[in-house]
Structure 1
Amino acid sequence: MRLALLGCGTVGAEVVRLLHEQSADLAARIGAPLEIAGIAVRRIGRDRGELPVDPALFTTDALGLIKRDDVDVVVEVVGGIEPARTWLVEALRRGKSVVTANKALLAEDGGALHDAAVEGSGDLYYEASVAGAIPLLRPLRESLHGDRITQVTGIVNGTTNFILSAMHATGAGFAEALEEATELGYAEADPTADVEGFDAAAKAAILASLAFHTRVGAADVHREGITEVTSADVASAKAMGCTIKLLCIAARGMDAQGRESVNVRVHPAMIPLTHPLASVGDAFNAVFVEADAAGQLMFYGRGAGGAPTASAVLGDVVAVARNRLAGVRSASESAYADLPVRPMGEALTRYHISLDVADRPGVLEAVAGVFARHHVSIATVRQGPSGGDNGDAVLVIVTHVASDAALAATVDELRGLEIVRSVASVLRVEGGL
């Protein structure tokens, strides 16, 4: 079985090393040896360390490599939308099997890849696109196909989890925790994709598509990052017996018209310390799946890094190679349900709102009246001094379950009250507190 490898960065280099180190075992598992037919890169002369590969295999002509008749499997670890989309669609239409770790492309235009796979009768596998080495996508699309998944809740970005875990452990602010993450190599020089939730949103779209048999794209995912989370928010969460995590949540439910639908969102949220996801620290990932028959399932492990991601890539390579030898292909995309995506305004959850208010009689009554007018029920209220010299107070309110639209309208009205100096923070509360 001959492989074309597209990309030889951190993950691609690990794929090459593992193919070399485990060649005998991989051949035994597949029933035929794996050979690298070529490696497409942007710059052939770049220093890639001591890779166990013939330098003559490197090429800058990715499309030419893909079109070669002696290539059976195309492995893509370049990332981005283009030219990766063009390459993979071409490979699939030619009947080659494709293994990719490209979460951005799958979330942006996974439908085009699945359609090309059907057209060319090839396999499309992408376990490495979400949560690194954690075996997650195949259980969703194979092991749990006999069940009805109701919700998927996950920590799927290691950078943000490291930052929030550090803030919880040390009381540091966001900027300080981000600086530490960068120094330790957990955050990129430009961390925007991570801290603003783009990376997690792409993964949420992939998870929702598999869990609910519905094509969900990145544009369908409500996204908020963690840049506005403060040390005061973390301290308030601790006082409630909670911690803050950047969660991706994909849930099945009914929309305003009474139709079964899905809601997919990424945002920071408080979760109780008793929740299984609360103990997921450092740069680890974890995904919590709830299904009618199977109940609650937890998938946990390292969600990023060259070696873990390469492990998932090679697992897919073994699967598609065995299929090709047997003359079969895996089941095609399951998108039969075609459920509508509920807007964020219809999402139901609880909320933690921190207000800076004037410290005088009647304030609590006025604030409570705003919540009542928008049918948002208050669960708890905590008041304390603001810490400044102006004599103002801090009002912390936790609500019962309400729609996101009702909460947004409540916050908008609160901002217009003369007695409310500012809405310091609004955080959702998940996990059954």
Structure 2
Amino acid sequence: MNKITNDIYYIGVNDHDLDLFEGQYDVPNGMAYNSYIISDEKTAVCDTVDGNFTDQWLDNITEVLADRKPDYIIVHHMEPDHSANLKSFLEKYPETTVVGNAKTFGMIENFFEDLTIANKLEVKDGDKLSLGKHELTFVFAPMVHWPEVMLSYDSTDKVLFSADAFGKFGALDVEEDWACEARRYYFGIVGKYGMQVQNVLKKAADLDIKIICALHGPVLRENLDYYLGLYNTWSSYGVESEGVFIAYTSVYGNTKKAAELLKEKLEAKGCPKVAIADLAREDMAESVEDAFRYGKLVIATTTYNADIFPFMKHFILDLTERNYQNKTIGIIENGSWAPTAAKVVKGMFEKSKNITFTDTTVSIKSAVKTANIAEIEALADELMK
């Protein structure tokens, strides 16, 4: 079994049978459900795994502990991909003390109607638990991204057990860039709760962290400033990469033509990065990720039933419900007889913070014409400022 430190072991599993994480996020490289054991004078299991991997996970515990029985099971987060095996665990180890907070135990009752817990330890923010030479401090992280979430910090090996924070899509037996899938994971799942993440980062700043053990993704042990820095940018709704993201929907190809022409003009003017996506064909979560990543967004869409095209409406709702803010937005609208897309788009962002719309709005009637090319040129100039 994989050793993280002399006393901390990885006992998680990889899932390559899953097609959609949480019923909506495409995971072509699978998913990891992470669980850990701290083996000391007393032993502590940190979280369980998805319910499809009960036997494998319990076997992993036995491989590490042999005939020893766990003294504690710490429940950092109650989502079923991390807590589903709590009942199976307690059936095998009924005397183990379950460690959680008041909200944790309330949720355990919600998920497991007939679960009997013989021993439980209810902790508060800042409480400590000694396992021998290892001492854990509990750091509450409410709404990152559920109300019961807590982290724990091992001051001996300087390990932060970070729950879903610093997690990513992808199984651990697949090599891939951390930031891309961590960004998509963050903005899809945690993105609404930037303020709460900022609060946790402030607490983490007071800890001497050498290793981060998240509930998804790899154990992080090098260049931690990089990961912490990205989380600070993401949770403060800052600009990670200078550039423009163009998101479009197009019925007959005319709005697509305008979007691609804008991309060409931005690149010709030296824009550091121009990303573009057809929202009807590309992964919506990746498009949401790019909208948060870059400082400027262009929305190009058709008027549709006196509204906007459904994929664009879905996209904007995904942004606004995740507290999209601090961005510049340009609009290209199209409508054969009554183009109203720009008005609809602006209305959808009216409650968003610090959104600046460009002075130039490109308004197409059916097909791109000479006047529209001039407008696209002006929009490109304004976005380059």
Q: TM-score, normalised by structure 1?
A: 0.31
Greater share of helix: 1
Q: TM-score, normalised by structure 2?
A: 0.33
